[in-house]
Amino acid sequence: MSQTMTVLRNEHRSISFLLDLLERQVDLLEKTGEPDLQLIVEIVDYFRSFPDMHHHPKEDLVLRRLRERAQGLDGEFFGLEEEHDKLSSELHAFSRTTADLMTDPSPMTRSTFILAARSFIERERHHIDMEEKYFFPAAERWLTEEDWDALDDAINQFADPIATPQALQRFQNLSEQFQKWQSAAA
C-alpha cells in the first residue's frame, strides 16, 4: 500500500475517534447539561485546522490524478472536491454554533448546538464511509506506481497539527501572540 493511502486511512481513524469524542460530549450536554465545553471547542478547532486544511487537500490531489487515469469512469467520488467545499462551509457554520454555545448556554442555544453537532457528526461519518468504500479502492485500482511516488512526495508537505511535537507549541504561540496584542491594545 502506498504511503499516501496509509496516511489517509490513519487520518480517517483519528477523525473518527474525534467524532466519537464529540458525540460523547453532545450526549452529556443533552443528558446532564454539563459537557466539557473546552474539549468541544478544541475538537471543533481541530476540525477547522486539520481535515479542512490538511486531510481534504490530500484527497483532492489523489482525486485529480484519478480523474486523469480513469477517464470515462463514472464514480460518485468525482464530486468529492465539491463535497469538501460544502463540508468546509458547513464546518464554518457549525463552529459559529459552537461559539454561540460558549457565550450563551441557554436551552435554545443548547438544542440548536445539539442538532447541528449530530448532523455534523453524521455527515462526516458518511463522508468517510463513502470514501473508504468507493474512492480509496478506485484510487488503488487505477493509479500507477509513478502516481503514488508523486503523491507520496506531495503529501509529505502536510503535517497533522496534533500529531507533531510542534502542535502544542503552535497553539501556545498563538495564545501568547493574542495576549500580547490584547495588552498592547489595553
Residues near Fe ion (CB under 5 A) = 56, 59, 131
Give least dist CB 48 to Fe ion, A: 15
Phi, psi (degrees; rounded to nearest 5) at 59: -65, -35
* Beta carbons of 131 and 9 less than 8 angstroms apart: no
Give least dist CB 34 to Fe ion, A: 32
Give least dist CB 146 to Fe ion, A: 23
* Beta carbons of 155 and 7 less than 8 angstroms apart: yes
Q: How many CA atoms lie within 13 A of 171 on its CB side?
A: 10
CB nearer to Fe ion: pick between 58 and 98: 58
CB nearer to Fe ion: pick between 29 and 138: 138
Give least dist CB 96 to Fe ion, A: 22
Give least dist CB 43 to Fe ion, A: 17
CA dihedral 116→119→122→127, nearest 10 degrees, is -100
CB nearer to Fe ion: pick between 59 and 113: 59
CB burial of 61-90 (b: ≥16 within 10 Å; e: otherwise) equals bbbebbeeebeeeebebeebbebbeebeee
Euclidean distance between CA atoms 62 and 155, whole angstroms: 10
Q: Which amino acid is at 109?
A: T
CB nearer to Fe ion: pick between 135 and 148: 135
* Beta carbons of 77 and 8 less than 8 angstroms apart: no
CB nearer to Fe ion: pick between 61 and 101: 61
